[in-house]
């Protein structure tokens, strides 16, 4: 299977699992960025049919800068406080990084696909901080924060 098709399949698996995990996460709230010149005003729902991955091979800090630029220049309705990144590990173990950027540092905690939407909501309402989730993940053998 080609690289683009693998990414496409992984992205749809991610959206399906993330949105179906709990009642709280069933309403789509995540936006898949496939074009940095686009204004985003609504969440992405599966199945997602995209052909480009403009944030691929970017660091979390670079992704943050590009997302901030999109919000500033296009007036997109996306939350840059916390965002999700896929990497090579995502293709191997169905986990993603949730990124939290503040003025001093970039923090990333790994979570399973199915826990992502719930964790984003949890971080947004400050029930748990990314630092606390990282601490908990570091206690796990696989380094992944889990709701289980």
Q: Judge whether 8 and 50 are in contact, CB under 8 Å.
A: yes
Q: Check residue 53 and give its pLDDT.
A: 87
For the segment 80-87, the average pLDDT, to the nearest whole number, is: 93
* 114-137 residue pLDDT tens: 999 989 988 988 889 999 999 999
Which two tokens mark 59? 């660091």
Q: Judge whether 13 and 19 are in contact, CB under 8 Å.
A: no
Q: Check residue 88 and give its pLDDT.
A: 87
pLDDT level of residue 47 (50, 70, 90 thresholds) = confident
Please state, in angstroms and rounded to a whole number, the distance separating the CA atoms of residues 54 and 91: 18
* 103-119 residue pLDDT tens: 789 999 999 999 999 89
The residue extents of the domains of the chain are 3-145
pTM to 2 decimal places:
0.89
Please state, in angstroms and rounded to a whole number, the distance separating the CA atoms of residues 85 and 78: 14
Q: Check residue 22 and give its pLDDT.
A: 63
* 4-26 residue pLDDT tens: 788 888 989 998 888 887 665 55
High-pLDDT (> 70) share of the chain, %: 95
For the segment 44-54, the average pLDDT, to the nearest whole number, is: 85
Which two tokens mark 111? 């979570």
Q: Check residue 1 and give its pLDDT.
A: 53
Q: Check residue 23 and give its pLDDT.
A: 63
């Amino acid at each position: 299977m080609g690289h683009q098709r693998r990414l496409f399949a992984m992205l749809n698996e991610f959206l399906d699992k993330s949105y179906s995990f709990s009642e709280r996460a069933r309403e789509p709230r995540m936006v898949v960025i496939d074009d940095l010149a686009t204004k985003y005003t609504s969440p992405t729902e599966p199945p997602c049919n995209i052909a480009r991955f403009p944030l691929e091979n970017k660091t979390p800090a670079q992704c943050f800068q590009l997302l901030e630029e999109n919000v500033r220049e296009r007036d997109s309705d996306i939350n840059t406080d916390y965002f999700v990144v896929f990497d090579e590990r995502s293709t191997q173990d169905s986990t993603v990084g949730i990124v939290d950027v503040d003025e001093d540092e970039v923090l990333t905690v790994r979570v399973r696909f199915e826990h992502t939407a719930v964790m984003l909501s949890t971080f947004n309402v400050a029930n748990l901080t990314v630092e606390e989730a990282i601490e908990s993940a570091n206690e796990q053998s696989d380094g992944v924060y889990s709701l289980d």
